[in-house]
Every structure is written in structure tokens, then in C-alpha cells.
């Protein structure tokens, strides 16, 4: 994945920070507890593992419209199949073969710019190698971005 230099933008969380704030620090009970996460109607989760599925499902349960972006095909998701199925059942939208290249927004997140990916050749693990498609950029509106990459 390309580096996202705007990760300090308000509304960008690592999956661990987001899950800790919600599950252990009661961020969903602000102002009763003083550990809020940004109120978000639209959330983009970047990643495809079990932690990405957890973050996406928690954001969905908090009422957000959630889009999960993964750079490979759905069949290549490293998360357990049951986690993927449950995320889909809960209403998480999947955008695969896409790579986030930039977080959009000055002070606060307003979206994520992505580029389309095609799968070519094979990498060291035998999986198809993701290669960016020149000129294929598109944007996803977002109030929050949760980065769940290992």
C-alpha cells in the first residue's frame, strides 16, 4: 500500500486505537466517558484481515456506512471466511482490487482517493501480484478512515 502521509488528519485512526477506544474506553458513550471517536456517517476501513473486519463491524454497529478497501481480490482476503461473511451480513461494502493512495481533507477527513489494481504474475507467496492501473483513480467519501494493515 502507498504511504498515507495525511494520517494525522482528524478522523484517521489505526484499527487498534479505534477498537480500544470503543471497546475498552467506551468511546460510544461520550460525554459520559471522555474518550470519543469522531462521529462518522461514512467510514472507510483499509485492510483485509480479521482486525479490519472487527473494525468495520464495530463502525457499522455504531451506525456508520462502512466501505472496506482491500488491494487484492476478495478471494485473497486474509480474514477468516466467517468474519468476511458476517461483515457482509452486517452491511459492510467491499471494494477490492483498489489501493488507497491519499486521504482527502485539510483539517478533517472528507474522503479517500484510491487507484484500481490489476492482479499480475505471482509474488513470493504464490499469490497474484497487485499492480496499479495508471489513470484509474477514484474517490470514496468518508468522515473517518480506519487503517488496519499489518
Per-residue pLDDT of 9-41, as tens digits, reads: 788 989 998 898 887 665 565 556 556 666 678
pTM: 0.87
Model confidence at 97, pLDDT cuts 50, 70, 90, reads very high
Is pLDDT above 80 for 98?
A: yes
Neighbour tally for 131: CB within 10 Å = 12
Give the pLDDT of residue 40. 72
| Topology of the domain comprising 12-21+38-147 | FAD/NAD(P)-binding domain (3.50.50)
- Give pLDDT tens digits for 105-134: 988 899 999 999 998 888 888 878 889 999
User: Domain residue spans in the chain?
Assistant: 12-21+38-147
Residues 147/12, Cβ–Cβ less than 8 Å: yes
Query: How confident is the model over 50-65, as a mean pLDDT?
Result: 94
Which class for 81: exposed (0-12), middle (13-18), buried (19 or more C-beta within 10 A)? Answer: exposed
Amino acid at each position: 500500500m502507498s504511504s498515507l502521509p495525511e494520517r494525522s488528519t482528524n478522523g484517521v485512526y489505526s484499527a487498534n486505537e479505534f477498537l480500544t477506544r470503543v471497546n475498552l474506553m467506551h468511546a460510544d458513550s461520550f460525554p459520559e466517558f471522555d474518550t470519543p471517536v469522531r462521529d462518522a456517517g461514512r467510514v472507510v476501513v483499509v485492510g483485509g484481515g480479521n482486525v479490519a473486519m472487527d473494525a468495520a463491524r464495530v463502525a457499522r454497529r455504531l451506525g456508520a456506512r462502512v466501505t472496506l478497501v482491500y488491494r487484492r481480490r476478495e478471494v485473497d482476503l486474509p480474514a477468516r471466511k466467517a468474519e468476511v461473511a458476517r461483515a457482509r451480513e452486517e452491511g459492510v461494502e467491499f471494494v477490492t482490487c483498489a489501493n488507497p493512495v491519499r486521504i482527502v481533507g485539510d483539517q478533517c477527513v472528507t474522503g479517500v482517493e484510491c487507484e484500481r489494481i490489476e492482479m499480475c504474475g505471482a509474488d513470493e507467496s504464490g499469490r497474484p501480484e497487485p499492480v496499479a492501473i495508471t489513470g484509474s483513480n477514484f474517490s470514496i467519501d468518508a468522515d473517518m478512515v480506519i487503517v488496519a494493515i499489518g
